């Protein structure tokens, strides 16, 4: 009996206590690594990028101030229409490079506008006496640029003002002034993972990506965050990881606040689970042993499904990015302005695509991303490409897998050229027999029968030895997520052209 009890004790230590102890150590190690990687490193990197963006913006506009202040004589700018026109054109070009709605002004010593891309100064400057505020500081600074914020009562974010006095023979003759929208500054540093606040030397946050980082009528940085760098802080029963760093050589500090309440909650829940496992391990040990084979088989099956999903996504992203960059390279030669818009749309698409935590989105979200993609294609093919849409379901409530429109549309555009060179694509989304149907059709030359049969055979199998990556990946993803009865069907022939039909369950949130 003693030997049997000793064997039981050893078995418990081997199969219960020892694994739990190892799991606890690994869990603690993983929690530390997760905190360092997902919180500390991400906060530091995002804060450094945002601070660099703001620093570069201030430096760029400071250089523009220096250029226009040294460009010709102030009196000549007033009297010489050609010189005034040249400076206006240069300024207009410079502020439109960034598309940030920056306003620029040349004013006389009384604050009257001599030149500018807006007819009136912001309200807070119109009511400001010329011997006070930024006017006074520009006179004191001489040829140095003055950087400060202009408060807008009706807006949460304040404008950034960069100005410089124009002097001649020691006397102030006028002022150059740039006014940069606070909303543009907030959008330039926004992040899906954390919020930022641009704080001045008095502790006020005139620009922030979230109202949580501004308190009171004067928009002060919450006291819980003040002076924090690489520390956690609590505000309104929420926990944040706070970092701060100076923005270049300016008097401003950039604070970042990453919400960590959910992460800390998961850490606490994991610890509670471990303690619970210790307390119930002995009575359930035999049951777990009987269920081990079934659990392992199920875990392996689920792991294989997740692994295959990740493989399909990994195949899609490089393929899409490569094709889009090829289009942009093509457009740079023909239409640089269009290429810039294509890059902006590509940036929007990539931000949408890199969130691997989301498997399903609403039709409205997917449609927004799809329109950005179609705009890129419209630049590429011009008037040859014509798209029609029939969206007959509730876009805000119906949910679909993420990133399923683009591969099908890409194939429709790529192979949909008609004999006259036109590309006509029709996208329809509708309900049929309680299911959601997505149809993408084109009027191009039909697929040859042997190729169509090959493609249809491919969709019935589990492997893809061909080059039909986009359609197969969408088909496989639908089957993995919803079952074998769902997926992609392809029809091609005269006179309807080629139709790719996606069938999936009607999921309404």
Q: Are 245 and 251 in contact (CB under 8 A)?
A: no
111 by DSSP, 3-state: which? coil
Cβ atoms of 60 and 91 within 8 Å: the answer is no
Rounded to whole angstroms, the Cα distance separating 27 from 269 reads 12
| Residue 37 Cα distances to 43, 45, 463, angstroms | 9, 10, 36
What kind and span of H or E run contains 55? Answer: helix 42-70
The pLDDT value given to residue 333: 75
Query: Residue 135: which residues within 8 A CB-CB, separation 6 or more?
Result: 111, 128, 129, 175
DSSP 123-180: HHHHTS-TTSHHHHHHHHHTTS-EEEEE--TT-SSPEEEEEEEEEETTEEEEEEEEEE
Measuring CA to CA, which residue among 111, 138, 104 is closest to residue 125?
Answer: 111
CA distance 301 to 307: 10
DSSP alpha helices (H): ranges in 243-360? 261-334, 336-353
Cβ within 8 Å of residue 349, ≥6 positions away: 324, 369, 372, 373
Given a contact cutoff of 8 angstroms between Cβ atoms, the answer to whether 460 and 405 are in contact is: no
Q: 22: which residues sit within 8 A by CB, 6+ positions away?
A: none
Residue 448's pLDDT is 86
* Contact in structure between 91 and 106 (CB atoms under 8 Å): no
500, 414 contact by CB (below 8 A): no
Contact 200, 251 (CB under 8 A): yes
296's tokens: 């392992």
| pLDDT of res. 289 | 44
Burial of 225 (0-12, 13-18, 19+ CB in 10 A): buried
First to last CA, the chain: 60
CA distance linking residue 27 with residue 452, whole number of Å: 51
Q: What is the pLDDT along the chain (509 residues), one digit of tens a residue?
A: 444 344 454 555 555 566 667 777 887 888 888 888 889 999 999 999 999 999 998 998 888 888 887 775 666 666 667 777 878 888 888 777 766 678 999 888 888 888 888 889 998 898 889 889 899 999 998 888 999 998 877 778 899 999 998 887 778 888 999 999 988 899 989 988 899 999 998 899 999 999 889 888 778 999 999 988 999 999 888 999 999 999 988 889 999 999 999 888 888 887 888 777 767 765 655 455 454 444 444 443 444 444 444 554 554 456 567 767 777 777 787 778 877 888 887 787 777 766 666 778 899 988 988 888 888 888 778 889 999 999 999 989 999 988 888 888 988 888 888 888 899 999 999 999 999 999 999 988 888 888 888 888 888 876 665 555 678 888 888 888 888 889 999 988 877 789 999 999 998 87
Cα-based distances in Å from 84 to 46, 184, 309: 41, 28, 61
Instruction: Quote the pLDDT of residue 293.
Output: 41
Identify whether the C-beta of residue 409 lies closer than 8 Å to the C-beta of residue 425: yes
Per-residue pLDDT, 281: 65
């Amino acid at each position: 009996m003693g030997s049997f009890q000793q064997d039981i004790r050893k078995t418990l230590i081997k199969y219960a206590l020892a694994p739990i102890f190892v799991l606890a150590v690994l869990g603690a190690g993983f929690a530390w690594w997760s905190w360092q990687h997902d919180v500390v490193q991400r906060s530091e990197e995002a804060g450094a990028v945002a601070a660099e963006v703001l620093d570069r913006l201030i430096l760029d506009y400071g250089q523009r101030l220096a250029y226009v202040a040294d460009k010709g004589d102030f009196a000549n700018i007033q009297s010489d229409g050609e010189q005034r026109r040249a400076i206006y054109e240069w300024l207009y070009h410079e502020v439109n490079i960034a598309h940030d709605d920056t306003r620029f002004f040349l004013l006389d010593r009384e604050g009257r506008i001599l030149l500018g891309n807006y007819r009136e100064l912001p309200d807070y400057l119109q009511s400001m006496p010329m011997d006070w505020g930024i006017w006074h500081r520009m006179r004191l600074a001489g040829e140095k640029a003055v950087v400060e914020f202009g408060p807008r009562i009706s807006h949460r974010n304040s404008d950034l003002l960069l100005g410089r006095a124009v002097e001649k023979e020691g006397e102030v003759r006028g002022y150059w002034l740039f006014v940069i929208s606070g909303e543009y500054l907030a959008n330039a540093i926004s992040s899906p993972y954390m919020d930022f606040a641009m704080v001045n030397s008095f502790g006020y946050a005139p620009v922030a990506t979230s109202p949580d980082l501004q308190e009171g009528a004067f928009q002060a940085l919450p006291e819980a965050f003040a002076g924090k760098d690489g520390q956690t802080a609590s505000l309104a029963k929420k926990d944040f990881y706070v970092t701060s760093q100076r923005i270049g050589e300016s008097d401003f500090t950039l604070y970042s606040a990453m919400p960590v309440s959910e992460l800390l909650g998961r850490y606490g829940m994991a610890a509670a689970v471990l303690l619970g496992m210790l307390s119930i391990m002995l009575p359930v040990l035999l049951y777990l042993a009987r269920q081990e084979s079934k659990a392992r088989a199920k875990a392996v099956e689920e792991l294989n499904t997740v692994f295959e999903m990740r493989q399909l996504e990994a195949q899609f992203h490089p393929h899409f990015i490569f094709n889009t960059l090829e289009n942009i390279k093509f457009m740079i030669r023909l239409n640089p302005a269009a290429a810039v818009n294509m890059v902006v749309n590509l940036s929007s698409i990539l931000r949408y695509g890199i969130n691997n935590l989301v498997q399903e989105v609403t039709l409205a979200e997917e449609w927004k991303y799809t329109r950005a993609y179609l705009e890129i294609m419209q630049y590429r093919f011009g008037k040859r490409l014509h798209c029609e849409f029939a969206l007959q379901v509730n876009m805000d409530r119906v949910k679909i897998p993420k990133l399923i429109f683009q591969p099908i549309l890409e194939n429709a555009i790529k192979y949909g050229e008609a004999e006259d060179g036109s590309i006509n694509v029709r996208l329809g989304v509708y309900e049929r027999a309680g299911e959601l149907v997505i149809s993408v059709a084109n009027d191009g030359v039909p697929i040859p029968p042997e190729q169509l049969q090959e493609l249809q055979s491919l969709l019935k199998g589990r492997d893809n030895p061909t080059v039909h990556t986009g359609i197969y990946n969408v088909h496989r993803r639908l089957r993995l997520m919803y079952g074998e009865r769902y997926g992609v069907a392809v029809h091609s022939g005269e006179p309807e052209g080629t139709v790719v039909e996606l069938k999936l369950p009607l999921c309404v949130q």
